[in-house]
A and B are shown apart, each in its own frame.
Chain A
Amino acid sequence: MTSALKVLDAGPYTTFQDMGRMGYQDVGVPVSGAVDKVSARLANVLAGNPPGAAVLEMLLQGMSFEVQASAVRAVLFGCDGLLAVTGARRLSVPAGRSVRLVRGDVVKVTSLGRSLSGYLALEGGFDLPMQLGSVSTYVRGGIGGLQGRVLQRGDILPLTAADVDVRPEKELAAPYDYGYSQAIRVVLGPQDDYFTPQARQAFFSGEYVVSDKADRMGFRLDGPKLDHADGYDLVSDGIVSGAIQVPGSGLPIVLLADAQTTGGYPKIATVISSDISVLARRRPGSAVRFEQVSLEQAEALARDLHARLCNIAEYGLREVAPAGVIDLTALRTENLTSGVV
């Protein structure tokens, strides 16, 4: 029997993503991949997968699915929601803790809480073909994922593992700080000289808000307008994820995973690699402040983040009793030995 998840409600924008496809930007193919790559990695770590395995990325709202496999192990990460299991049994599992699900379980991601994005990793991963070296879905180009598109109700998502063992589940030993109110650090440029000194100052002193025009290509921000010193037409050059371009409206657009590979608007600054995931989690309506760092500081922060993630994978997980199984240790310590009940 095949092993799969059946999509009952796909949510508004759910796609398969991994760490993206490099090597094709010279022919116009964006990198794609999870907008919040940190959370996608940690979801995989908790599920016992390689950190770059393909996961389901949900934007704005969660999905629901039915388990069509003997048993699977799932992890929700990157948000404050719950996995609510209904069907033959009822369970509620918080984000950040793995859970073994069995055939017939109906599972709903209740909410993404304060996050725009949430990630669902399955132990063993999904059985999907790579296109151009990646499973990531790039919807505009119809590349990757499930037929190059967002998920729909009724989709069957094939899994690699047919069964998973009962074992202690895993969660993070310490809660992960999603940085919802942290300043977003940027390196100035590459075209900061296209802006007036007042605009450069306003960019750092003002507060921006993620507008409703926020998707995998980028976030349009509302807030102080940034005046160009001498026009905003630029002969197109290359774009990196995190680049903050400012078109004629004066309102910045932070480019993200599915951004075009090239563009013709001046880029006042670029979000550093360690903070892209922090920004990408912010839902429309969230505040954003920018803070300038040097390239050396950005590189040190990239190393710090990498070390932190490796450290979590190595030492930062703890075992918890399988869901739905009575935790005898807890019972003994909390109830039976306490004497007077």
Chain B
Amino acid sequence: MTVQFLKEGDTAMVVQFGDVIDRALSDRVLGLSRRIRALGILGVTDLVPTFRSLLVHYDPLIVGGDELKGRLEGLLEASDAQRQEARQWTIPVCYEGEYAPDVDDVARASGLSAAQVVEQHAETLFHVYMLGFVPGYPYMGDLPPALVLPRRSNPRTRVPPGSVAIASVMTAIYPLESPGGWHLIGATPIRLFDVDAEDPALLRPGDKVRFKPIGSAEYAGIRKAVQARDFEMVCERAAS
């Protein structure tokens, strides 16, 4: 599929690389986003990478759509010599009891034991495709095939913050209390979104994430430290 430039009114342009969820497409989206950030285009006000497209927000008083398209085309195939290493996070998750209300349903639906569900989830290195839905909400993939399930038939009106959830080929973490239809298989005590931080969202598109199972006592300990602002997440560098 060739790259398409789609108008979204006079203040945004979709650069569409494809129409499916795919790691190779995601890498192209994130590469273009990175190049625009590094080189800058006058008039561009925000960049929103998604699974298969980049939304470029712009100010039409500064740059017109035709001119913007030309500038973007020039950055599409630019060589990415200084290719960044991805940030890799290890996120502690309690997959037990009250923190994992749907883990038994997921086990039943997938034909695995609850322990196998946790093992498969925690063994996978996830790629953050995009953030959306609510501030700091990461869409991470891809789940191992056995864990791929449709959403819950009864969405919850209130999902507690920190819930680790799965649906379709994705896993996510709810940063704030919100409604949600995904299966809750665990919870993390860390904060995903902190409006007072300089960089408010812990995760960014392109980051890598691995989950580390912890018990409820360790969950409580980390939670306390997070609330006292005495806990810092540190990332490693991973090959992209």
Whether A273 and B14, one on each chain, are in contact in the complex, defined by CB atoms closer than 8 angstroms, is: no
- Contact residues in A for B133 (Cβ distance below 8 Å): 28, 260, 262
B230 CB within 8 Å of chain A: no
Q: Which stretch of A19-27, A55-63, A152-160 is in the interface?
A: A19-27
Whether B136 and A27, one on each chain, are in contact in the complex, defined by CB atoms closer than 8 angstroms, is: yes
Q: Provide the B3-28 mask, 1 if CB < 8 A to any CB of A, else 0.
A: 00011111110101001110000000
- Contact residues in B for A141 (Cβ distance below 8 Å): 134-135, 176, 193, 195
Chain B, 116-137, CB within 8 A of any chain A CB: 130-137
- Contact residues in B for A295 (Cβ distance below 8 Å): 7, 10, 65-66
- Contact residues in B for A296 (Cβ distance below 8 Å): 64
Chain B, 35-92, CB within 8 A of any chain A CB: 45-55, 57, 60-61, 64-66
Whether A28 and B61, one on each chain, are in contact in the complex, defined by CB atoms closer than 8 angstroms, is: no
Q: Which stretch of B98-106, B200-208, B209-217 is in the interface?
A: B200-208
Q: How far is the CB of A242 from chain B (nearest CB, A)?
A: 5
- Contact residues in A for B7 (Cβ distance below 8 Å): 187-190, 270, 295
Q: Provide the A231-245 mask, 1 if CB < 8 A to any CB of B, else 0.
A: 000111111111100
- Contact residues in B for A186 (Cβ distance below 8 Å): 9
Q: Provide the A5-44 mask, 1 if CB < 8 A to any CB of B, else 0.
A: 0000000000000000011111111010000000000000
B236 CB within 8 Å of chain A: no
A303 CB within 8 Å of chain B: yes
Q: How large is the interface on B (under 10, 10 to 19, 20 to 34, 35 or more residues)?
A: 35 or more
What total of chain A residues lie within 8 Å of the partner, measured CB to CB?
A: 48
Whether B132 and A28, one on each chain, are in contact in the complex, defined by CB atoms closer than 8 angstroms, is: yes
Chain A, 247-295, CB within 8 A of any chain B CB: 260-263, 267, 270-273, 295
Main secondary structure of the interface of A (DSSP, over half): mixed
Q: Provide the A139-180 mask, 1 if CB < 8 A to any CB of B, else 0.
A: 011110000000000000000000000000000000000000
B196 CB within 8 Å of chain A: yes
Whether B14 and A235, one on each chain, are in contact in the complex, defined by CB atoms closer than 8 angstroms, is: no
Closest chain A residue to B20, Cβ basis: A235
Whether B57 and A27, one on each chain, are in contact in the complex, defined by CB atoms closer than 8 angstroms, is: no
Whether A28 and B10, one on each chain, are in contact in the complex, defined by CB atoms closer than 8 angstroms, is: no
- Contact residues in B for A188 (Cβ distance below 8 Å): 7
Whether A189 and B176, one on each chain, are in contact in the complex, defined by CB atoms closer than 8 angstroms, is: no
Whether A237 and B50, one on each chain, are in contact in the complex, defined by CB atoms closer than 8 angstroms, is: yes
Offer 29 A-B interface pairs, CB within 8 angstroms, sorted by A. A22-B46, A22-B57, A24-B46, A24-B135, A26-B48, A26-B205, A27-B193, A27-B201, A28-B132, A28-B133, A28-B137, A29-B200, A141-B134, A142-B176, A188-B7, A190-B6, A190-B7, A190-B8, A190-B14, A235-B21, A238-B54, A239-B55, A272-B9, A272-B10, A295-B66, A296-B64, A298-B9, A298-B60, A302-B60
